[in-house]
Amino acid sequence: MALVEVKQITKKFGAYSAISNVSLTAQDGKFLILLGPSGCGKTTLLRMIAGLELPTYGDIVIGGKVATRLHPKDRNIAMVFQNYALYPHLTIYENVAFPLRVRGFSGDIDKKVKWATSLVGIEHLLERKPRQMSGGERQRTALARSLVRDPSVFLLDEPLSNLDAKLRHSAREELRQFQERIGVTSIYVTHDQVEAMGLGDRICVMQGGVVRQLGTPEEIYLNPADTFVASFIGSPPMNLISDEGRTIGFRPEMFLPESAFDPSEALYRTEFTVQRIEYLGGDRILYGMVGASLPSSKAIARLPATIGTLPEVGTTAKFAMRLSDIRYFDGEGKAVEQSRRHEARLVVNG
């Protein structure tokens, strides 16, 4: 178990900067998620922590020791790759035993392998070769191999992206329980925000090689630091409406027919012209245009099934949201600070 600190890391490939001056800390025993669209530098950052890439500038500190120039094998880290990187010529047993053997482990290898494989529930498959296993079993093997030698940091590079949707859900669940049980500092790369929200103690949202926001899933969802985070997190994303050099944001599930609110609440009222309704079982997604006091622009509303009456397509209905649910962003897309929000709210109401 160890603290991982990334200090002012920059990585350049030729003239292109994949990562620009990123600093962050993965807390001891916690689950940190690196989240971002493809090409945002999250995998490059993970590979630098693993020692597979050398940062152009900056330092990586693992467990209080500067590890920037250490060879991967000397960092006591474990990594699960996107394609699991199981050795095809070795059996599952030998795959799991591999890290122990190459490190000249002096104890009982057999006992350790049995322990690791039973933790992930593949102890009955030890004689198979990787290609005789299903995707889920391979993923478990990769997990078993990475934890067999008690690493101090656990790195995971989109380990669930090769699984089908249903399996991915249960694997996510297991992964989280598993991490809590062994309590190893984990850094997890993904582009899937659902995975990130479900797994992470903290999420680091990256884009274009910089950190856009670092916080708990709640913080990131409720108070996005800028319009990128606001539109990247949430499905459907936050409605963003530009108005006189500012941007107003509100979550689709907070944007409901006026009748759904208690009239005594502080509401912001507007009109919503419904253009299309998507039925998703538990929810209905309404696509349309807001108008009235706001500049006319596209918006999405997400209505839970508990709201019985839906506006017809093509009609304009009275919609509203709580004033406390509205977020404001300045001209550059940065979130407006709490103290300045009051002022901005008055402007909207006026």
Partner 1 sequence: MSTTELSLAGSQPGGLGRYNRQAADLHYVTSRVMVYLLAFTAVSVIGFPLFWMVICSFKTSTELYQFPPAFLPHDWTLTNYRDLFIQTNFPIYFVNSLVVAGGATLLSLVVGGLGAYSLSRFKFAGMRTVSMLTLLCYMLPEVLLVIPLYLFVVDLGMADTLISLIIANTAFTLPLTMWFMRSYFNAIPASLEESAMIDGCSRFQAMRKVTLPLALPGLVSVGVFSFNHAWNEFLFALVFTSSETKKVLSLGLATWIGQDNIYSWGMLLAGAVLVTIPVVLFYLLVQRRLVVGLSEGGVKGE
Question: Taking a C-beta distance cutoff of 8 angstroms, is the pair 36, 46 a contact?
Answer: no
Nearest to 135 by CA among 192, 81, 79, 84: 84
- From residue 98 to residue 137, what is the string marking binding to partner 1 with x (rule CB under 8 A)? xx--xx--------------------------xx------
Least distance (Å) between residue 49 CB and partner 1: 11
**Which of 51, 252, 257, 288 is close enough to bind partner 1 by CB under 8 A?**
51
Alpha-carbon distances of 18 from 13, 59, 96, rounded to whole Å:
7, 16, 33
**Which of 9, 32, 46, 79 is close enough to bind partner 1 by CB under 8 A?**
79
**Which of 2, 9, 84, 205 is close enough to bind partner 1 by CB under 8 A?**
84
**Which of 71, 166, 181, 342 is close enough to bind partner 1 by CB under 8 A?**
71
Q: Which stretch binds partner 1 (CB under 8 A): 26-34, 82-90, 108-116, 313-321?
A: 82-90
Paired sense of beta strands 283-290 and 297-304, if any: antiparallel
Host H or E run for residue 77: strand 77-80
**Which of 2, 45, 62, 78 is close enough to bind partner 1 by CB under 8 A?**
78
Of 100 and 220, CB closest to partner 1: 100
Of 143 and 326, CB closest to partner 1: 143
Of 6 and 240, CB closest to partner 1: 6
38 scored as a contact of partner 1 (CB under 8 A): no
Of 88 and 263, CB closest to partner 1: 88
Least distance (Å) between residue 243 CB and partner 1: 48
Q: Which stretch binds partner 1 (CB under 8 A): 65-73, 224-232, 249-257, 262-270?
A: 65-73
Of 83 and 275, CB closest to partner 1: 83
Size of the site for partner 1 (CB under 8 A): 28
**CA–centroid distance for 129 within its chain:** 32
CA pair distance 185, 166, nearest whole angstrom: 27
DSSP one-letter string for 264-305: TS-EEEEEEEEEEEEE-SSEEEEEEEE-TTSPSEEEEEEEET
At residue 344's C-alpha, the angle toward residues 342 and 346, to 5°, is 75
88 scored as a contact of partner 1 (CB under 8 A): yes
**Which of 29, 58, 72, 198 is close enough to bind partner 1 by CB under 8 A?**
72
Query: Which two three-digit tokens encode residue 298?
Result: 């596209």
Q: How far apart are the first and last CA of the chain?
A: 54
DSSP one-letter string for 245-264: TEEEEE-GGG-EEGGGS-TT
**Which of 16, 38, 64, 89 is close enough to bind partner 1 by CB under 8 A?**
89
55 scored as a contact of partner 1 (CB under 8 A): no
Least distance (Å) between residue 349 CB and partner 1: 55
**CA–centroid distance for 254 within its chain:** 22
CA pair distance 192, 194, nearest whole angstrom: 6
Least distance (Å) between residue 187 CB and partner 1: 13
Which DSSP category does 21 fall into?
Answer: E
Sorted by sequence, the CB contacts under 8 Å of residue 258 that are 6+ apart come out as 267, 269, 318, 319, 320
Q: Which stretch binds partner 1 (CB under 8 A): 78-86, 240-248, 289-297, 301-309?
A: 78-86
- From residue 321 to residue 350, what is the string marking binding to partner 1 with x (rule CB under 8 A)? ------------------------------
Neighbours of 166 (CB within 10 A): 8
**Which stretches of the chain bind partner 1, using CB under 8 A?**
50-52, 71-73, 75, 77-79, 81-89, 98-99, 102-103, 130-131, 138, 145, 149
